[in-house]
Amino acid sequence: MDSNLISLIDNLSMLTNLYDVVRIVDPLIKKTIYYDKSKGKVEISNNNCYDFWKSSEYCPNCISIRAYNENDTFVKIEYNKEKIYMLMASPITIGDKKYIFEMFKDITDTGIIENIYNKTVAEIQYFIKEMNDKIIKDELTGIYNKRFIYERLPIEILKSKSLKFPLSIIMTDIDFFKSVNDNYGHLAGDFILFEFASLIKSSIRKDNDWVARYGGEEFIIVLVNTDNNTAFKISEKIRKAVEEKVFEFDDNKIQITSSFGIYTLDENNFNLDIKAIIKYADEKLYEAKRTGRNKSIK
């Protein structure tokens, strides 16, 4: 495998006329791959791939993870406090190992942000964030979307495995949500989805945990460094808050319940991938709904 990778790295220079930066990244460990001629072998850089962006943590909208998971090419715009870049990430498999080609093009002077040199760093960062948020945020609820789940969750899994702390996944949805739409209309249904998402978001830790809309009335909550029993307590706290809340829409008072399925990744099952983890959490949710709804199953 090394000989093929060495050849690939040596030939990257062919792309430098088209792009300002060309590199190969292993998105699972967040490192760049290079060929050390003095040692005659491929090495993993000591630097993190996100260091280029002058960031101390991984990108929340990492398209390289997305390219890795979906085996497709993706593009985004990013800013490193000096220049604006268009970033393209494309998967490549060598032997039995998948890597990501990252190609950066400086687009600072292309007019994508008018009068960039008259704008503050904060203004530019806000503009870039707004553009990229449209890719990973759910338009209706304002929380993360399904795309973000498949970008971020593999990173959380890797981090938990490396640091040996538990990671809990909660799958939840609104019981009999169709009846809300049928009885009060689809605008009311949209309102309930927004309020349900907001309630969940306010019930978890802002800096560590996150929630995303998986689809329809189904959501995924990710609790970092949280064991199964603690995740169950958090789930029950949210469930009871939902049950007790009276949602007011127009002249209607609407009450709902919700069901939760909890699955925890720890030292016993760190080998599971993202699809398996979501599947197991979904099975717990199905059990909660099958056995009466308005409950948490761990």
What percentage of the chain has pLDDT greater than the value 70? 89
**Contact present, 214 and 149 (Cβ < 8 Å):** yes
> In this prediction, what percent of the chain has a pLDDT beyond 90?
44
Q: Has residue 273 got a pLDDT over 80?
A: yes
Report the candidate in 172, 229, 237 with the shortest Cα–Cα distance to residue 203: 237
Active site residue ranges: 217
What's the CA gap between 240 and 236, in Å, rounded?
6
CB atoms within 10 A of CB 161: 15
| Tens digit of each residue's pLDDT (9 = 90 or more) over 146-174 | 988 987 888 788 778 877 899 999 999 99
Distance CA 201, CA 219 (A): 11
Of 197, 147, 207, the residue nearest 172 (C-alpha): 197
Report in angstroms the alpha-carbon separations of 106 from 14, 56, 233: 17, 22, 48
pLDDT digits (tens, 9 = 90+) for 41-54: 667 888 888 888 88
pLDDT at 115 over 60: no
Residue 43: count of CB within 10 angstroms of its CB: 12
35 confidence band (pLDDT: 50, 70, 90): low
pLDDT at 90: 86
**Which pLDDT score, from 0 to 100, does residue 112 have?**
62
Q: What domains lie within the chain, and their CATH numbers? A: 2-134 (3.30.450), 146-297 (3.30.70.270)
Q: What are phi and psi of 291, to 5 degrees?
A: -100, 20
